[in-house]
Structure 1
Amino acid sequence: MFEISTQTVQMASLLISILALAFAVWLYTWVKSQPSSNARIAEIGEYIRQGANTFLKREYLILARFTAVAGVLIVLLLPKPIWNTNNISENIFMAVSYVFGTVLSALAGKIGIQIATIANIKAAEAATKGVKPSFMTGFRGGAVMGMAVVGTSLLGVTLVIWLVGDASAVLGFSFGASSLALFAKAGGGIFTKTADISADLVGKVELGIEEDDPRNPAVIADNVGDNVGDVAGMGADLFDSNVASMSAALVMATSLGGIAGKNVAMVFIYAAIGLLSSIIGVATARIGEKGDPSKALNTSTYVTTGIYAVLTALSTYIFGLEWRIWGATAIGLIVGTIIGITSDYFTNDAKPIVQAVANASKSGPAFTILSGFSYGLISALPALIGIAVTSLAAYYICDPLGPGYGMFGISMSAVGMLSIVGMIISNDAYGPIVDNARGLAEMGGLGEKVIAIADELDSAGNTVKAVTKGFSIGAAGLTVIALLGAFMSEVNTAAAELGLETISHFDIMNPAVFFGLIVGIAIPAVFSAMLMLGVDKNAQRMVEEIHRQWESIPGLKEGKEGVKPDYDKCIDIATTGSLKELIPAGLTAIIATIVVGFIGGVSAIGGFLTGNIASGLLLALLMSNAGGLWDNSKKYVEAGNCGGKGSPAHKAAVVGDTVGDPFKDTAGPSINTQITVVSLVASLLSTLFLLYSLF
């Protein structure tokens, strides 16, 4: 057995973070060095790059103003009101940590956009040489994002703890990451689905043209949307989840043994090993000349999972760490993989559920919607059971270690589930890259054989995206249960300082708790509705614009050489509309938390968080899985089944897909960020809720 200090562990975490960032630079250089010579693809790729960067610039300017206002409020109020504290530096450190979190989260999104808009061009042209070179280009492009996101998140948390020496400041850092992720995911989701729905409905259903036909004015906006929603938004989302899981674990570890205790060291050891495992998994990922892309992606995930399990067990033995806590971490890791497999069963077009919905589409769009929605509801059950079993098992495995260790066990199971997030992000970012590559191959006229290869890669990306969404929602579920424990720790710390009674549970028969519970249940539904209504309003404007261009631009219908639609107009509609809609939904969730806290105090907030977690997880799983199910049902029909393209089943399946688009790419994945944000707001404001509440 070797004794190891927290400072040594933090130094190792910093070194592994730097290694991951260096590996990301190497991957970026490798992707950029791949050949590309098609002038038409380069031109369209530049349209996509400019559109994505323009959106990101305008979005970040809006979010910078929000960050500035929030930063000032934090200085005034957190962790204690400035007029009630003798140590103003704590408030300043909290505000600096918050701004640092938003900056790193924004940087993760920017890095993702930079690589994705290069990798899509390279992957499209690599498809002319076969599946292997195109897959490796798309996967390594996604891996740049994976390494950058997890490298910066571990780096950020380690630096905050090292420089500030206070786990509560990490909650400020996490809130910065979460608040930016909430708006980035919502804004990107509204943009991408505005364009996707408009392009699909008008192009495929009304005009009968291909998905990526360059005559469709919305087609470039659709490709831009893949980047701002599925790359930048998703990167910020998983950056947030990873930071939030570490923050909750660190807050509880500190309450159990101080900032220099073995529990804090364990959090850093396991998180650093997770990043190291992902580096190894990405570096060793391979595919044969005629290999199966889905199998290659899944194999890489399983290899990374195995490496993590072995390395954490070795470190537990070598450094004399607590095996019970390792057990809780391992359960989280295993159940995360199982949740991914169940998501795959409900969303993979090689499985019976997707085929059943495709067959139902032969009877019309009503049956597409009914069957898909019903299977979406059923699909939530395995994941919710997985989260429930994990939290129960982790609690009871660690509870014998002493008071507080049960909740710490749950927080470590969340760390375990998110341990391989570097590989998960690599797989997820691969999806939009190869999706764009498929569009570029068609618009660049590379031929049917190349388009078929790109389609195969895109289909694997869709399946893996559904798996990673299920995984990230499951991980968010465990994380927010852990954040509920962190909230109790923060409340009890503040209560002890103020000489007030501490809390050990939330009694549902307490009227304040029940009041918070009912309001908390409603918020994810209202939040989702606001985002989807934003897509609805925006898409209607874009559909009108597509019709206007199709009718008014001479030669566009006929595809005359030199005649192009006004792509920029559609990009502007999607950008303006999404930026207008993203703030209200996020503020509604944050303001509701604050109002409940000042009305019912910490007891009401306990109920509010519980209700928000329960309904949020159900809705997120339903919408993500139903959306993926409808998407792949459409692709199953387009592959020549149930009548193929142009058939009644195809038109019904396209309607199902357009309903599923805002489900799976706007509201669904934004809910897990919303429940994280309100949990962090509750923890940060716990002292204020103790001091000032109506009841």
Structure 2
Amino acid sequence: MLTSVFVIVPIASLFALFFAWWFFRQMMKSSEGTDDMKRIAAHVRKGASAYLKQQYKIVIIVFLVITVIFSILAYGLGVQNKWVPFAFITGGAFSGLAGFFGMKAATYASARVANACRTSLNGGLKLAFRSGAVMGLVVVGLVLLDISAWFLVLNHFIPEMDGGYKLMTITAIMLTFGMGASTQALFARVGGGIYTKAADVGADLVGKVEAGIPEDDPRNPATIADNVGDNVGDVAGMGADLFESFAASILATALLGAAAYIDNQAVQLNAVLAPMLIAAVGTLLSIAGVFMVRTREGATQKDLLKSLGFGVNFSAFLIVIASFFILRFLNMPNYAGVWGSIVTGLLAGIAIGQSTEYFTASAYKPTRRIAEAGESGPATVIISGIGTGLISAAVPLIIIVVGITLAFSFATGFDFTMAQLNKGLYGIGIAAVGMLSTLGITLATDAYGPIADNAGGNAEMCHLGDEVRKRTDALDSLGNTTAATGKGFAIGSAALTALALLASYFEEVRMMFVKFLDMPYELINGVPAIDAEFLDFVQHYQIHLMNPTVIVGMFLGVMSVFIFSGMTMNAVGRAAQKMVDEVRRQFKASPGIMEGTEEPDYARCVEISTRGAQREMILPSVIALFIPVIVGIIFGVPGIAGLLLGTISSGFALAIFMANAGGAWDNAKKYVEEGNHGGKGSDVHKATVIGDTVGDPFKDTSGPSLNILIKLMVMASVVTVGVAVSYPIIKCWL
């Protein structure tokens, strides 16, 4: 069944992993600086490693429990494929491995970047960015490696079937390893977000507002925990998030391609391979783009943004050209239209990033207005930030609507008959692949942010001087912008990926009848299941807005989004309160800390964040895993359809609002710190610090965690589809 062109996928994987290793080795060869710089960096590394070790212990227990449940479904009840438990484990293991390697590179890089900034801004930028590229390349490399291995193994072991069902079976099984990646990603995002924001809130409220000392002042007991949190949240957490998006978009599109072209097995194979090849070539071009990022000494923020933008846009431009020739080489029907869907996805990702930058960067009016509101106190800062966040959600929603419409239309050749529905859904899936095709370099720009932030903290704590601090501040400010646009990109990709997964859910329903339940001739809307199409299943299960089970599912989906956000926000609040109490206690019990004659107990603050994150992350994560199962058991397939529609639509909008409001509050504070509206220490500054403190869990915990919640609930529904098909308590109310 395989063709020789498939070899590009594992080759691209090996290239990505090799260059990740090479960038890591090059970074390790550079000097870590003075003894003080080494000591601070060692504190951060130790704290980050201790946190991940504790998190992985909990995650392993959860994975064992879920694997047992999947094994019962597969081997006991026979409503799931027997490969699923193994696919689930590998997805989670590879996702955890990607986060571990990325965080390891980040924690070793920060002091080296600070040291490089002692001599040159360009040296610091290149070192920070290539260290961030370790995260990006490890993620895409491991995704492609996992996909390659599973595709080869399943192609060997799955027997030949009539009617193109072998590829349907292979892609349906492969899709389930995304469940493991989603589960690992949720724990990484929620736990990392709680950790970093508990430390950040404690450092800001007590250090900045009450004690009046800088954010990264070595006298602040919470500053090491804050730096550790940047790595476990924005490196390991973001890496696991986009690992899952990248894998799920490729695999969902492959399954949709297998369904769309099931009548022509030659075309079907090419439709399955297309997203894999585009992702593989995009990975190779991402490596080339990393080498393009450099700048000149004395560069402005605009110059630095251009430097990063050049590398990303270089890769994106080349993948646009390469994807056209890939589709043409594969002889895909309407290859020009499918290519249009890929370009649509890429442009949608860029547009969402630009929209996020406008609403969150201090160079533009929305953020400056939040800073101006500080002249009236913290209440108006908070009101202005919420208003900005709410308005900012409109643009990405419009972009996604336009993107979905164009991707669907291009893939169908603007033929809107029902016969073209599957091809249109394939177009939406491959648009998500296009958006994520250059993830290797896109994720590097995001992982760069916490590395630059930690480098600035190291420079501040080690008193490296104004010139060095000026350079690290420039890199850090750039990192804030890339982090904000990265969050917008992650949310946008989550929306398209979730829609592709939602479409693939019904293909899994079909596979359940044809393959796993051995009912290929069960009538679906009057048609045997083996011949039934997407709309036959929709009509069979009466999935429409007049079906109460669908409406109930939609309300439960919206409820899930809000209760999850509320729980993660409260978790940050509880953990932060303990951190605030500890920092206050240390200042009171040890006056020598403020005088600089006594070192704070950094380890105690790290321990508080670690324990708080581990304890608080379990309940929201478990709820996210089990709501789809419970809804499937009670309301069946119609209830799940409504649940996923409610989750995707409300989750996407709320995630954009929270991420942009938090980013705008953060940059409004930094805008004041640059000397505007009274500068540091002024009443306006204190008001914006409070606004930033409110925004911290918005942009770094609840908001980004919603990306994963959306995908995890869809993925959990896909993996447990056999339960919804076989055991619904309420089959239909109509």
For normalisation by structure 2, the TM-score amounts to: 0.91
Give, in whole Å, the separation in 1 of the partners of 2:698 and 2:215: 20
Which residue, 182, 187, 205 being the options, matches 1:183? 187
Structure 1 residues 569-592: Cα deviation after superposition (integer angstroms, max 9, x where no partner) = 000000001000111001112221
Structure 1 residue 77 displacement after superposition: 0.9
1:61 to 2:53 alignment? no
Q: Secondary structure at the match of 1:261?
A: helix
Match of 2:527? none
Q: Secondary structure at the match of 2:537?
A: coil
Match of 1:320? 331
Equivalent pair of 1:157/1:173 in contact (CA under 8 Å) = no
Structure 1 residues 116-157: Cα deviation after superposition (integer angstroms, max 9, x where no partner) = 011101001111112111111110110011111111111111
Structure 1 residue 83 displacement after superposition: 3.5
Give, in whole Å, the separation in 2 of the partners of 1:589 and 1:115: 30
**Aligned residues, how many?**
683
Match of 1:76? 72
Give, in whole Å, the separation in 2 of the partners of 1:45 and 1:429: 17
Give, in whole Å, the separation in 2 of the partners of 1:572 and 1:609: 37
Equivalent pair of 2:176/2:718 in contact (CA under 8 Å) = no
Which residue, 263, 277, 288 being the options, matches 1:280? 288
1:158 to 2:158 alignment? no
Listed as ranges, the matches of 1:207-218 within 5 Å are 207-218=211-222
Equivalent pair of 1:336/1:475 in contact (CA under 8 Å) = yes
Give, in whole Å, the separation in 2 of the partners of 1:598 and 1:532: 29
Equivalent pair of 1:101/1:176 in contact (CA under 8 Å) = yes
Structure 1 residue 434 displacement after superposition: 0.4
Which is worse superposed, 372-381 or 267-276? 267-276
Listed as ranges, the matches of 1:387-398 within 5 Å are 387-398=400-411
Which is worse superposed, 49-58 or 33-42? 33-42
Structure 1 residues 608-657: Cα deviation after superposition (integer angstroms, max 9, x where no partner) = 00000001001100011111100000000000001100111100000010
Give, in whole Å, the separation in 1 of the partners of 2:422 and 2:383: 45
Listed as ranges, the matches of 1:244-255 within 5 Å are 244-255=248-259
Q: Which amino acid aligns with 1:491?
A: V
Structure 1 residue 213 displacement after superposition: 0.8
Q: Secondary structure at the match of 2:592?
A: coil
Structure 1 residue 6 displacement after superposition: 4.1
Which residue, 583, 586, 592 being the options, matches 1:549? 586
Which residue, 372, 375, 399 being the options, matches 1:359? 372
Match of 1:539? 576
Equivalent pair of 1:328/1:394 in contact (CA under 8 Å) = yes
Match of 2:308? 297
Structure 1 residues 461-506: Cα deviation after superposition (integer angstroms, max 9, x where no partner) = 0011111110110010000011110101111222344315241363
Match of 1:105? 95
1:593 to 2:587 alignment? no
Structure 1 residues 436-470: Cα deviation after superposition (integer angstroms, max 9, x where no partner) = 00000011110112111111110000011111110
1:48 to 2:37 alignment? no
Equivalent pair of 1:10/1:162 in contact (CA under 8 Å) = no
Which is worse superposed, 61-70 or 500-509? 500-509
Equivalent pair of 1:160/1:169 in contact (CA under 8 Å) = no
Q: Secondary structure at the match of 1:128?
A: coil
Q: Secondary structure at the match of 1:154?
A: helix
Equivalent pair of 1:6/1:265 in contact (CA under 8 Å) = no
Give, in whole Å, the separation in 1 of the partners of 2:220 and 2:124: 26
Structure 1 residue 255 displacement after superposition: 2.1
Equivalent pair of 2:348/2:399 in contact (CA under 8 Å) = yes
Structure 1 residue 403 displacement after superposition: 4.3
Give, in whole Å, the separation in 1 of the partners of 2:35 and 2:77: 63
Q: Secondary structure at the match of 1:404?
A: helix
Structure 1 residue 523 displacement after superposition: 0.7
Which residue, 585, 592, 607 being the options, matches 1:572? 607
Structure 1 residue 554 displacement after superposition: 4.3
Which runs of 5 or more residues in structure 1 are unaligned?
none
Listed as ranges, the matches of 1:410-421 within 5 Å are 410-421=428-439
Q: Which amino acid aligns with 1:163?
A: V
Match of 2:596? 559
Q: Which amino acid aligns with 1:365?
A: P
Match of 1:525? 562
Listed as ranges, the matches of 1:150-549 within 5 Å are 150-165=140-155, 166-257=170-261, 261-291=269-299, 292-321=303-332, 322-399=335-412, 400=415, 402-496=420-514, 497-498=518-519, 499-501=522-524, 502-504=536-538, 506-549=543-586
Structure 1 residues 196-225: Cα deviation after superposition (integer angstroms, max 9, x where no partner) = 011011011000001111111101000000
Give, in whole Å, the separation in 2 of the partners of 1:308 and 1:528: 36
Give, in whole Å, the separation in 1 of the partners of 2:3 and 2:247: 19
1:653 to 2:684 alignment? no
Match of 2:33? 37
Structure 1 residues 546-589: Cα deviation after superposition (integer angstroms, max 9, x where no partner) = 111111124112111xx111111000000001000111001112
Q: Which amino acid aligns with 1:550?
A: F
Equivalent pair of 1:6/1:262 in contact (CA under 8 Å) = no
Give, in whole Å, the separation in 1 of the partners of 2:13 and 2:479: 27
Equivalent pair of 1:357/1:633 in contact (CA under 8 Å) = yes
1:147 to 2:151 alignment? no
1:24 to 2:42 alignment? no
Q: Which amino acid aligns with 1:479?
A: T
Structure 1 residue 280 displacement after superposition: 1.2
Structure 1 residue 67 displacement after superposition: 0.8
Give, in whole Å, the separation in 2 of the partners of 1:645 and 1:351: 20
Equivalent pair of 2:572/2:697 in contact (CA under 8 Å) = yes
Structure 1 residue 99 displacement after superposition: 0.6
Match of 2:619? 584
Equivalent pair of 1:332/1:416 in contact (CA under 8 Å) = yes
Which runs of 5 or more residues in structure 2 are unaligned?
156-169, 525-535
Q: Which amino acid aligns with 1:628?
A: G
Give, in whole Å, the separation in 1 of the partners of 2:88 and 2:625: 16
Give, in whole Å, the separation in 1 of the partners of 2:478 and 2:357: 11
Equivalent pair of 1:476/1:676 in contact (CA under 8 Å) = yes
Structure 1 residue 536 displacement after superposition: 0.2
Structure 1 residue 74 displacement after superposition: 1.1
Structure 1 residue 690 displacement after superposition: 1.0
1:115 to 2:105 alignment? yes
Q: Which amino acid aligns with 2:350?
A: T
Q: Which amino acid aligns with 2:5?
A: V
Equivalent pair of 2:125/2:294 in contact (CA under 8 Å) = no
Structure 1 residue 599 displacement after superposition: 1.1
Give, in whole Å, the separation in 2 of the partners of 1:279 and 1:265: 22
1:94 to 2:84 alignment? yes
Q: Secondary structure at the match of 2:218?
A: coil
Give, in whole Å, the separation in 2 of the partners of 1:67 and 1:504: 33
Q: Which amino acid aligns with 1:596?
A: V
Q: Percent identity?
A: 41
Structure 1 residue 162 displacement after superposition: 1.6
Q: Secondary structure at the match of 1:413?
A: helix
Structure 1 residue 405 displacement after superposition: 0.9
Structure 1 residue 37 displacement after superposition: 2.9
Q: Which amino acid aligns with 1:517?
A: M
Equivalent pair of 2:33/2:112 in contact (CA under 8 Å) = no
